[in-house]
Amino acid sequence: MNVLIIGAGSAIAVATARLYAARGCSLFLVARNTQRLEELAKDLEVRGAAKVGQHTLDVLEHDKHAEAVSTAREFLSSVDIALICHGSLPDQAITETDFAAARRELDVNGLSVISLITLLSALMKEQGAGTLAVVTSVAGDRGRQPNFVYGAAKSMVSTYLQGLRGRLLPHGVHVIDIRPGLVDSPMTARFEKGVLWSTPELVAGNIVKAIDRKRHTVYTPGYWRIIMAIVRSIPDVVFKRLKF
């Protein structure tokens, strides 16, 4: 099995990559920090990966996406699984008043992802097979006061995937939308953690399972499906007063 991971330095991606390495898969890693990529590549080899390739990319540089994807393809020869995992959780207050900041966040969490999906869809269509798994967020289920710029970008991707899933069906390509809840990772280092929090390792286990079983929309951990159903069902007149 050949696995491409974009945003490979993220805690969730690292934990997922390790599960694939333990299965003896070949991996291609794309991330922004070259030194971390090298460290991770060695780590995955020791953990059992058949081979590991890497490529440095800042996802904001859209014109370099094609090169990253084609390098991955060359290294892996076929891309059976592509996981897109990068993201950033901005300071909401700044993005509300500084549009340049908001646009950058919409790009990292939304547009850059769609650019990469566009390239990967074409590649997998051509292969006539593949699984495209994209990490979005429960934050995309409903815009909430503390993170609606981030949420808007994530829901853009989720909506896009809903349509794409059908488009790629005749081509044997499967599309998965992975929506983690609260995960204790560097992204959320500044928050106090409570009972609803889970770990990158647990989420990674769910991601691999979802890919194995060709699921469609995955909430991880599973109880977030219920929580978000409740959150979505709150009437606007009430919801607009909620600060969470």
Partner 1 sequence: MQLSGWGNYPAVQADVLAPASAAELQSLLAHNAYGNWICRGGGRSYGDSALNGRVVSSRYLDHFLDIDEDAATVRCGSGVSLGQVLEVVIPRGLFPPVLPGTKHVSIGGAIAADIHGKNHHVEGSFCDHLESFSLLLADGSILRCSAAENAGLFHATCGGMGLTGIILDATLHLNKVSSVSINNRSFSAKNLQHCLELLDEHNAATYVVAWLDCLKQGEDLGRGIVYVGDHGDDDNLQLVKRRGLSVPFHTPGFFLNRFTMSQFNNLYASWNKGRGDTTLQNYEQFFFPLDSIGNWNRLYGRKGFLQYQVLVPTEAKDILSRIIRRVAESGQGSFLSVLKKFGKANNNPLSFPSAGYTLTLDFRWRESLFPLLDELDALVLGCGGRHYLAKDARLSESGFKTGYPRWQEFMQVKAEVDPHNRFASLQSQRLGLTPVSTSHSSHKKAGPDK
Ligand X SMILES: NC(=O)c1ccc[n+]([C@@H]2O[C@H](COP(=O)([O-])OP(=O)(O)OC[C@H]3O[C@@H](n4cnc5c(N)ncnc54)[C@H](OP(=O)(O)O)[C@@H]3O)[C@@H](O)[C@H]2O)c1
Active-site positions read 150
Give the strand order in the sheet containing 2-6: 52-56, 26-31, 2-6, 81-84, 130-135, 173-180, 217-220
Min separation Cβ 121 and partner 1, Å: 32
Round to whole Å and give the CA distance between 219 and 244. 19
Within 10 A of 37 (CB to CB), how many other CB atoms are there?
21
Partner interacting with residue 69 (select from partner 1, ligand X, none; CB below 5-8 Å by kind): none
Interaction partner, residue 189 (partner 1, ligand X, none; CB < 5-8 Å by kind) = partner 1
Measured distance CA(53)–CA(8) in Å, rounded: 11
Partner that binds at residue 46, options ligand X, partner 1, none, CB closer than 5 to 8 Å by kind:
partner 1
**Which SS3 state, helix, strand or coil, does residue 236 take?**
helix
Cα–Cα distance measured from residue 235 to residue 240, given in angstroms and rounded to the nearest whole number: 9
Residue with smaller CB distance to ligand X, 169 or 196: 196
**Closest approach of Cβ 102 to ligand X, in Å?**
15
User: Would you report the helix, strand and coil content of the chain in percent, each value rounded to 5?
Assistant: 55, 15, 30
The 3-class SS string of 165-234 reads HHHHHHHCEEEEEEEECCECCHHHCCCCCCCCCECHHHHHHHHHHHHHCCCCEEEECCHHHHHHHHHHHC
Which CB sits closer to partner 1, 38 or 96?
38
DSSP state of 111: I
When the beta carbons of 23 and 125 are compared against partner 1, the nearer one is: 23
Q: Which residues bind ligand X (CB under 6 A)?
A: 7, 9-12, 31-33, 58-60, 85-88, 108, 135, 137, 180, 182-183, 185-188, 200
Residue 100 or 237 with smaller CB distance to ligand X:
100
Among ligand X, partner 1, none, partner that 108 touches (CB below 5 to 8 angstroms by kind): ligand X
Q: What minimum distance in Å lies between the beta carbon of 89 and partner 1?
A: 15
Minimum distance, C-beta of residue 207 to partner 1, in the bound complex (Å): 17
Binding site for partner 1 (CB under 8 A): 11, 22, 35-36, 39-40, 42-43, 46-48, 186, 189, 192-193
